[in-house]
Amino acid sequence: MNLQTRNTNGGSVTGDDGRTESPNEAALLALMETTGYSMVQENGQRKFGGPPPGWDGPPPPRGCEVFVGKIPRDMYEDELVPVFERAGRIYEFRLMMEFSGENRGYAFVMYTTREAAQRSIHLLDNHEIRPGKFIGVCVSLDNCRLFIGSIPKDKTKEEILVEMRKVTEGVVDVIVYPSATDKTKNRGFAFVEYDSHKAAAMARRKLIPGTFQLWGHTIQVDWAEPEKDVDEETMLRVRVLYVRNLMMTTTEETLRQEFSRFKPGTVERVKKLTDYAFVHYHSREDAVTALHLMNGALIDGATIEVTLAKPVRCVYPIFAGSSLSPASLLSLKPGQFSSAVTLLEYYCYKNSWALPEYYLYSTPGQDGKLMLIYKVVISSTRSSFMPDKVCTVLEDAKELAAQNALWNLALGPRCCLHRIWGSQFAIN
């Protein structure tokens, strides 16, 4: 049995005796003989399987692949595959390779089921693969979604979908968010979903130069921030609903009444920010009931969208022996911020502006509670901003003030503000 490797031109790479020159080749050939899987090397990666022997049907769905990092450079499939087979049947194992024959320190493992992929994370993340060597394992998701900015605000979802299908291939859907102040208009940006990562990458390559126009407008194109996956077990405990597409004038009291109409007293609390809100229930059962009843409902003239909120904090273990390096705010991406206060500071740094100054004011509420509001001053732009709402909690007032400042500075769509303002990740 010969281990075939192909370069990017499709030619075979073999030794003088016709056999592939590969480290530990005998062990790899033995692995192929034992498992019945094929192995081929092309474009800087070595594929084991894909599909496995006897596989009938399409490849596994999204969510079945994991990323493996911090692999010792002299470790190969003969050692790695048996370890990852503990979690379930492998559909394909892709080890990234150097021209020298060493691996690049990372791989992708696609299982036949999502359950096996999740099991591998629980079993093998921070696993000591060799004495003193710990690997990292996490979910790998191919990004199939592009962010398209500077779209005329009078264009509908249908018009954008038709236009994107004219200029790119593989378009599955277009996600458009209505303006917070005028529901007949979009926010000037959209997300375009493609049927594969490859199709999205080809579309990005075609549209990225900055000279491409839609309806006479030069558009902005970038990868959309991928949604964080939350495991199914965690989501089964969620009792908070994320509600979006609200009117700016809709109050928390209105939401409390509407979302508890089916069972008075079931809502624990409501938190509304701009045109979205989080509705907390006392029980999971009531939250699920409200989800089915309220999704698509009409509140104050707006058709709302309701989903289960996702837990906001993502915590990962630190690998033993990991090196820590100082990081600056500017080295991060906007998608790494979950706070408008931090995001506003980031853009002040990026634009060489003075940092925002926050001035706190208070006013008595109708029920006697002390209500709080911040004014944000950015001296470099000679501007100040104050929201039109007050809060009872200090941190909420500051967050709202920062959101309002970012909105008025028109940093929204390009700054991934949708991910923060319209995020379905629950705010406690």
What pLDDT was estimated at residue 316? 52
pLDDT 10s digits, 160-174: 999 999 999 999 999
Residue 318 lies in a domain: no
Q: Is the pLDDT of residue 212 over 50?
A: yes
Report in angstroms the alpha-carbon separations of 214 from 156, 161, 187, 195: 13, 12, 16, 22
> Last residue of a domain, which of 122, 139, 156?
139
Residue 379 lies in a domain: yes
Of residues 415, 397, 419, the one with CA closest to residue 406: 415
299 shares a domain with 251: yes
pLDDT 10s digits, 366-415: 767 788 999 999 988 888 999 888 888 888 889 889 988 887 775 543 33
Report in angstroms the alpha-carbon separations of 359 from 380, 384, 400: 16, 10, 13
Q: Tell me the C-alpha distance between 280 and 270, whole Å.
A: 6
What domain range includes position 269? 232-308
> Last residue of a domain, which of 179, 206, 223?
223
Q: The tokens of 420 are what?
A: 């923060």
> Last residue of a domain, which of 139, 166, 198?
139
Lowest mean pLDDT among 216-230, 300-314, 366-380, 392-406: 216-230
DSSP type of residue 89 = -
What pLDDT was estimated at residue 255? 95
DSSP type of residue 96 = E
Cα 198 from chain centroid? Answer: 18
Residue 153 lies in a domain: yes
- DSSP per residue, 246-271: --TT--HHHHHHHHTTTSTT-EEEEE
| pTM as predicted | 0.48
What does the angle CA 29 – CA 88 – CA 30 come to, to the nearest 5 degrees? 10
* Beta-strand relationship, 4-5 and 39-42: parallel
What pLDDT was estimated at residue 312? 56
The domain spanning residue 277 has which CATH number? Answer: 3.30.70.330
What pLDDT was estimated at residue 245? 86
What pLDDT was estimated at residue 23? 57
32 shares a domain with 135: yes
10 shares a domain with 104: yes
Cα 91 from chain centroid? Answer: 24
| Number of domains into which the chain is organized | 4
376 shares a domain with 280: no
The CB density around residue 390, as the number of other CB atoms within 10 Å, is 18
Residue 320 lies in a domain: no
273 shares a domain with 159: no
13 shares a domain with 133: yes
β-strand partners of 66 = 109, 139
264 shares a domain with 206: no
The domain spanning residue 344 has which CATH number? Answer: 3.30.160.20
Mean pLDDT (whole number) for 100-109:
89
Q: The tokens of 220 are what?
A: 């902005």
Residue 29 lies in a domain: yes
Report in angstroms the alpha-carbon separations of 155 from 53, 160, 162, 191: 49, 7, 11, 14
Average pLDDT, the chain: 81
Q: Is the pLDDT of residue 152 over 70?
A: yes
408 shares a domain with 352: yes
279 shares a domain with 196: no
Q: What b/e sequence results for 236-262 when a residue is b if at least 16 CB atoms lie within 10 Å of its CB, and e otherwise?
A: eebbbbbbbbbbeebeeebbbebbbee
Mean pLDDT (whole number) for 89-99:
91
| Phi, psi values for residue 259, rounded to 5° | -85, -5
Residue 177 lies in a domain: yes
Report in angstroms the alpha-carbon separations of 114 from 142, 256, 257, 367: 15, 37, 39, 51
Q: Tell me the C-alpha distance between 78 and 115, whole Å.
A: 24
131 shares a domain with 154: no
Residue 117 lies in a domain: yes
Residue 313 lies in a domain: no
78 shares a domain with 152: no
132 shares a domain with 70: yes
Q: Tell me the C-alpha distance between 273 and 402, whole Å.
A: 12
Q: Is the pLDDT of residue 16 over 50?
A: no
Q: What b/e sequence results for 355-371 when a residue is b if at least 16 CB atoms lie within 10 Å of its CB, and e otherwise?
A: ebebeeeeeeeeeeeeb
